[in-house]
A = this chain, B = another copy of it.
Amino acid sequence: VADVAATIEQLLGADAVFRGDPRPYLSDETETRNLVGTCDAVVRPDSPAAVATLVAWAYEHDVPIVARGGGTGYAGGAVPRGGIVVSLERLDRIRSFDPLVWRMHVDAGVTTERVRRTARESGLYFPPDPGAGEQSHIGGNIATNAGGPHAFKYGTTGAWVTGLEAVVPPGEIVRFGGPIRKDVASYDLRSLLVGSEGTLAIVTGAWLRLVPAPEASQSIVAFYANAAAGVEAIETVLGSGLLVAALEYVDAGALAAAPPPFAPGQGEAFAVLVDVDGSAAEVEQLRLAVLEVLADNARVLHAPDGASEQAAVWRWREGMTAGVTALRGGKVSEDIVVPLDRLREAIERTVEIGEAHGLPACSWGHAGDGNLHSTFMIDRTDGLDVERAERAAEALFALAVELGGSISGEHGTGLVKSGHLEQFLPGRGAELHRSVKSIFDPKNLLNPGKKQ
């Protein structure tokens, strides 16, 4: 097609094609490892029907299409390599909100935080809390099955999606599930789309379920001398049968880059962060039980009072990514998962892999889910550093598989983790994965090169 943008303008109207600087549409958080894409046009459809028209046109003319939400991904899933970027940002309506039956129906381009805030204003709770909620879209969260700290108690995004509206090649709007809480009438094609990173269909809308907001919550931060002592505390929380809402950790290398206010003191090299929620009485009971467990070998315990102090705990936790990036200017960060009883090994071996590749390494993440954000810090301007980090990441994926885990818990595989399918899903498993792709997208035009 000679002039993609002009052709699409004719098809969808002039305001559907973005004519400004395309650069904000070409990268995501993997820019910290120098990943920037290219595209032929940035299109911003204003309705599911417009998305369907666009997919039909692209399918007819063999033009790749890369769906894009808020661009906060960590795997390059939304980094295009030519073709059309379809930004869902104009699909930003809350289609309906029925607080009395704990339900919301939204466009794919509504931000995560807007869903959470709207729910909260009616006493309800949408639990998924990936970072960057003000920027990330619900559609993007669905595309990666995004997690976050509270996924430990509440599950990842998919657990809160009861239905999807999606455009499936060669250009039809299909609905899987809906405003219902159970459905086993067909194969679970809804779950198949969750986490598929825009490679099977383009999600345009979602039915979400909500729960009553917990009456109270309380955060606790504990510092330990080393990973061994910290992980032991984490295991004791679980082994004591304490159903906390979030159970996070920060290792020594990440602590060194942590923003205020919780700086590690002398001899403190590992932090455990716990959130408990529920009724006020339950929170008080859980808080005391957790404090007792954490205190055992802790060097320092913080149990901040009041909402603003507790918000500070989570800002501190969320600041980890920026802090670690700032250390050397760039980073290669993955999100491997291991069985809970291999957490300590995975934390320690992340650092060893860094050492073996000549790179400072650290990790933090969702301890209760065995989900590590294992990170190699790099100088982005140093090509050798970037290469080293890519090799270190390969070693990390091998470690995850060796420990019986997964190469991705919540970021997806995108561009940066593609090519490992056979490693964790050998033989017929990988074949089935590829066959699923080919029945949804026989021409391989939806986000090609990703999730494979």
Interface residues of A (CB under 8 A from B): 98-103, 123-124, 144-145, 147, 151-152, 155-156, 158-159, 168, 172, 174-189, 191-192, 194-196, 200, 211-213, 235, 238-239, 241-243, 278-279, 281-282, 285-286, 337-341, 366, 368-371, 404-413, 417, 420-421, 424-425, 427-430, 432-433, 435-437, 439-440, 451
Contact = CB atoms under 8 A, between A and B. Distances in A.
Given A421-B186, A425-B186, A428-B172, A406 B200 contact: no
- Which among A145, A409, A432 has the greatest number of chain B C-beta atoms within 10 A? A432
Contact of A337 (B98, B182, B286, B369): B182
24 contacts: A101-B235, A101-B339, A155-B159, A158-B191, A172-B428, A176-B429, A178-B404, A178-B406, A179-B339, A179-B404, A180-B370, A183-B409, A184-B406, A184-B409, A184-B411, A185-B408, A187-B437, A188-B192, A188-B195, A188-B196, A189-B429, A191-B191, A279-B281, A432-B439
Contact of A369 (B168, B181, B195, B404): B181
Nearest to A244: B212
Most buried by B among A124, A184, A413: A184
A420 B368 CA distance: 42
A187 B192 contact: yes
Nearest to A190: B191
A182 B408 CA distance: 8
Contacts of A410: 182, 184
Contacts of A188: 145, 158, 191-192, 194-196
Contact of A189 (B241, B340, B432): B432
A101 B340 contact: yes
A174 B427 contact: yes
B439 A184 contact: no
A196 B271 CA distance: 43
Given A187-B195, A408-B185, A440-B432, A124 B281 contact: no
A439 B409 CA distance: 26
Contacts of A123: 241
The 9 closest A-B CB pairs, nearest first, are A191-B191, A281-B281, A212-B241, A182-B409, A435-B439, A100-B239, A101-B340, A183-B406, A184-B195
Contacts of A147: 182
Contact of A282 (B282, B428, B437, B440): B282
B243 A212 contact: yes
Nearest to A430: B186
Contact of A436 (B175, B179, B189, B451): B189
A223 to B, nearest CB: 24
Nearest to A156: B182
Of A124, A187, A195, A420, which is in contact with the most chain B CB atoms at under 10 Å from its CB?
A187
A200 B424 CA distance: 21
A283 to B, nearest CB: 10
A325 to B, nearest CB: 23
Contacts of A341: 98, 100-101
Contacts of A371: 181-182
Contacts of A242: 212
B279 A339 contact: no
A182 B404 contact: no
A238 to B, nearest CB: 6
